[in-house]
Amino acid sequence: MFSLKSTATIPIPASSAEVALAPGKVSSRSQITWLRCVCLSVVVILVVGGITRLTGSGLSMVDWRPIAGILPPITDNQWNDVFMMYQASPEYQKVNLGMSLSDFKFIFFWEYLHRILGRIVGLLCLVPYLYFLIRGKLSSRMKVFGLTLIALVVGQGLMGWYMVKSGLVNNPEVSQYRLAAHLSLAFSVFGLAWWMMLSLGREETPARNQQARWVRPWVLGFLGLLCAQIAYGAFVSGMKAGYGYNTFPMMGDEWKPEGLFGLTPYWKNFFEDKFTVQFIHRWMGTVLTAGLLILGWRAFKSGVLNKIQIVRMKWVLALVGFQFGLGVSTILLIVEYQVSLPVIHQLVALFLFAALLGLVHSLSGNPVRESA
């Protein structure tokens, strides 16, 4: 005799953090296209922002005119006026004294392009949102997500100018704190748009893979560690800490050079001592890479991941390995490749961030319970 045991699963309503969008009247395809454009625009502005930073172009525009500043200088008189404004800045007087107008036009181009792209990102967030809102195509949760996205973009623009201002007084170097905040806000804009897009891409929230429930807290932890690592990367860039030691894995001839953690009060070492900042960035990246590789090995060995989770975990592992290699290459070759390697390193950090978010998303379905 055979007996059948019911294995029906009953979905439990997901929490507000797990269900991003309510199904119904949402025109998901057009909204996915919108969010893809937002994500792509952030990728572009991140690359241009990195080039702007690494070519020393970020302080070439000494004023901020959100509307009037859309048009660049065109006539010779306009260029001379803008150049004279720059010549009064600390950067010109202390770093670029004697710079020609043609050289100024080069650095001006990158900062101008960066600011124009910032306006484009803002319009890409605002205009489609208003269109969907007026036509009644947004769920209540999507309205909140959209408003949050717009607020982040506005905050990002304001933080960008606040960062530039820090380099226009006395010392022609922007604050590493403001640079880290500026970069973190850019990643936040991308992350929110990416999560919204992933949520729209599935018609309904699937049942959570209960066997893989132990993986999610670890992935969330490594995502948090990656965010800290990205912020520390901004500190490394802002302080030019990458030029401190160009050897790996040791710093010079030592694992821990003398002079680390020498500032007082002690907390300043983590943010204002360039050698300590590079030391932390190195080892945080090493821990992140090793931790994710071990997690992936354990998850694959246990066989708990479903097909989509397997694919996303493989992307995470490939990207973190590639990123670690880029980081080491940047340390060793920063003098020869002062722009290209750091920009690629920053870009791959964004891709890794997206991959980890995607993995978290695939692990965030509704919990289920079985009934006999």
pLDDT tens for 279-321 read: 999 999 999 999 999 999 999 999 999 999 999 999 999 999 9
**Whether 151 and 279 share a structural domain:** no
Give the number of domains in the chain. Answer: 2
Task: Say whether both 214 and 198 belong to one domain.
Answer: no
Please indicate, yes or no, if residue 13 is contained in any of the structural domains: no
Q: Please report the pLDDT score of residue 25 as a whole number.
A: 39
What integer pLDDT is reported at residue 122 of this predicted model?
A: 96
Quick one: which H or E segment has residue 340? helix 340-362
Choosing from 180, 204, 228, the residue where a domain stops is 204
- The answer on 182 and 39 residing in a single domain is yes
For 146-187, write each residue's pLDDT tens digit: 999 999 999 999 999 999 999 998 889 999 999 999 999 999
Q: Are residues 230 and 178 in the same domain?
A: no
Q: Using an 8 Å Cβ cutoff, are 105 and 183 in contact? A: no
* Residue 150: alpha-carbon gap to chain centroid: 16
> What domain range is 218 assigned to?
207-367
Q: Which of 157, 182, 204 is the last residue of a domain?
A: 204
Residues 71 and 140 placed together within one structural domain of the fold = yes
Is the predicted pLDDT of residue 115 greater than 90, yes or no? Answer: yes
Strand-pair partners of 11:
368
The predicted structure's pLDDT at residue 69: 80
pLDDT for residue 20 is more than 90: no
| Residues 34-74: tens digit of each pLDDT | 999 999 999 999 999 999 999 999 999 999 888 878 899 99
pLDDT at 27: 62
Is residue 322 in some structural domain? Answer: yes
Q: Please check whether residues 332 and 269 belong to one and the same domain.
A: yes
Same domain, 188 and 224: no
* 101 domain residue, yes or no: yes
Q: Write the CA distances from 249 to 10, 79, 175, 328, 333, integer angstroms.
A: 52, 48, 28, 8, 14
Asked if the structure places residue 40 within a domain, the reply is yes
Q: Would you state the structure tokens that stand for residue 195, as one six-digit string?
A: 């999560």
Domain boundary, last residue among 182, 204, 226: 204
pLDDT tens digits, 79-92: 999 999 999 999 99
Instruction: Flag whether 232 is in a domain.
Output: yes
Helix (H, G, I), strand (E, B) or coil at 76: helix
Closest by Cα among 358, 158, 330 to 233: 330
Is the domain of 311 the same as that of 163? Answer: no
- Per the domain annotation, does 3 fall within a domain? no
* Average confidence score pLDDT of the chain: 88
User: Do residues 194 and 119 both lie within one domain?
Assistant: yes
Shared domain check, 123 and 29? yes
Could you tell me which residues come within 8 angstroms of residue 301 by beta carbon, excluding any fewer than 6 positions away?
none
191-244 pLDDT, tens digit per residue, is: 999 999 999 876 445 556 778 889 999 999 999 999 999 999 999 999 999 888
Domain for residue 176, yes or no? yes
User: Do 90 and 67 fall within a single domain?
Assistant: yes
> What proportion of the chain, given as a percentage, has pLDDT over 70?
89
In a domain, 2, yes or no: no
215 and 196 assigned to the same domain: no
